């Protein structure tokens, strides 16, 4: 049985240029791979859009053993309405704090050696002002839920996550154990839980085809489970990732639009 782990968190972005500056220059993440798609994903990976879109994976190291942010860009959509479900991503890096100060990126001190930096689109990134560890600096992703007991049951008893810490019945820290996609889908069907996308194969041009199952938890957070073996082939670092992203941004010319109108386009 393959070891399960948290791979990505998806951020839909409207301004790729500012977003690239934040993740590359402020946080110090690397462009792990960049992919362009001519039509919408059949598993709605890019949201409810049918047109051209791109996916850029960024992180502090290879996806085999590092958490990554998946930056999804839909051509022609410059802004998204931010909900109250995502509470923040926390990473440990004094270098990121130093980068933010040097580049004039706004920081808010919210605790001892803890800063809040807002990514383009309004996403909260918390920076622990301590030396970046040799392993993955990303510590956790925090989501809001309406019923902590119900959500804990879902994520632990059904998804197989382990409860690591509890804090005064207000927050629960969890990590993944083991699972198999077909078994997971069968369990969710048996338990009458919502399956957004039943087990399906997704193609990426020139790369491996991966199997995914997409679920929705009690608060409708989308959780995508990906087959391990094919994913390891798909997620190999691409040394041309930076160049591919820069080329796509230059050809998009959305920077010119933002500069001319001094605002973001409204979402479709």
How many Å apart are CA 244 and CA 57, to the nearest integer?
A: 12
CA 209 to chain centroid, in Å, comes to: 20
Residue labelled with tokens 């820069």: 246
**Predicted local distance difference test score (pLDDT) of residue 136:** 94
H or E element in which residue 229 lies: helix 228-234
Q: Show pLDDT as tens, one digit a residue, over the chain (268 residues).
A: 345 778 899 999 999 999 999 999 999 999 999 999 999 888 888 888 899 999 999 999 999 889 999 999 999 898 899 999 999 999 999 999 999 999 999 999 999 999 999 999 999 999 999 999 989 999 999 999 999 999 999 999 999 899 999 987 789 999 876 667 888 899 999 999 999 999 988 887 778 888 999 999 999 999 999 888 788 888 889 999 999 999 999 998 887 767 776 544 444 3
113-142 in b/e burial notation, b at 16+ Cβ within 10 A? ebbbbebbbebbbbbbbeebeeebbbeeee
pLDDT of 262 reads 55
- Going along the chain from its start, the domains and CATH numbers come out as 8-261 (3.10.180.10)
The SS3 assignment for 104 reads coil
State the pLDDT at residue 261.
Answer: 66
Beta bridge partners of 38: none
């Amino acid at each position: 049985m393959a070891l399960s782990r948290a791979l990505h968190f998806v951020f839909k972005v409207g301004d790729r240029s500012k977003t690239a500056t934040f993740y590359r220059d402020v946080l110090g993440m690397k462009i792990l791979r960049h992919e362009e798609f001519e039509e919408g994903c059949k598993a709605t990976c890019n949201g409810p859009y049918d047109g051209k879109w791109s996916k850029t994976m960024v992180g502090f190291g290879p996806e085999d053993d590092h958490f990554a942010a998946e930056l999804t860009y839909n051509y022609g959509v410059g802004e998204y309405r931010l909900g109250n479900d995502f509470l923040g991503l926390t990473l440990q890096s004094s270098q990121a704090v130093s980068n933010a100060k040097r580049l004039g990126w706004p920081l808010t001190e919210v605790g001892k050696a803890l800063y809040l930096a807002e990514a383009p689109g309004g996403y909260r990134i918390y920076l622990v002002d301590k030396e970046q560890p040799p392993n993955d600096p990303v510590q956790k992703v925090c989501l809001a839920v309406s019923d902590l007991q119900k959500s804990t049951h879902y994520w632990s008893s059904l998804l197989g996550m382990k409860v690591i810490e509890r804090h005064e019945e207000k927050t629960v820290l969890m990590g993944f154990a083991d699972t198999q996609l077909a078994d997971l889908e069968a369990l969710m069907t048996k338990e009458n839980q919502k399956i957004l996308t039943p087990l399906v194969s997704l193609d990426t041009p020139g790369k491996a085809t991966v199997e995914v199952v997409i679920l929705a938890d009690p608060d409708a957070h989308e959780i995508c489970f990906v087959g391990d073996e094919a994913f390891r082939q798909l997620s190999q670092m691409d040394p041309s990732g930076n160049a591919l992203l820069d080329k796509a941004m230059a050809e998009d010319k959305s920077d010119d639009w933002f500069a001319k109108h001094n605002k973001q386009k409204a979402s479709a």
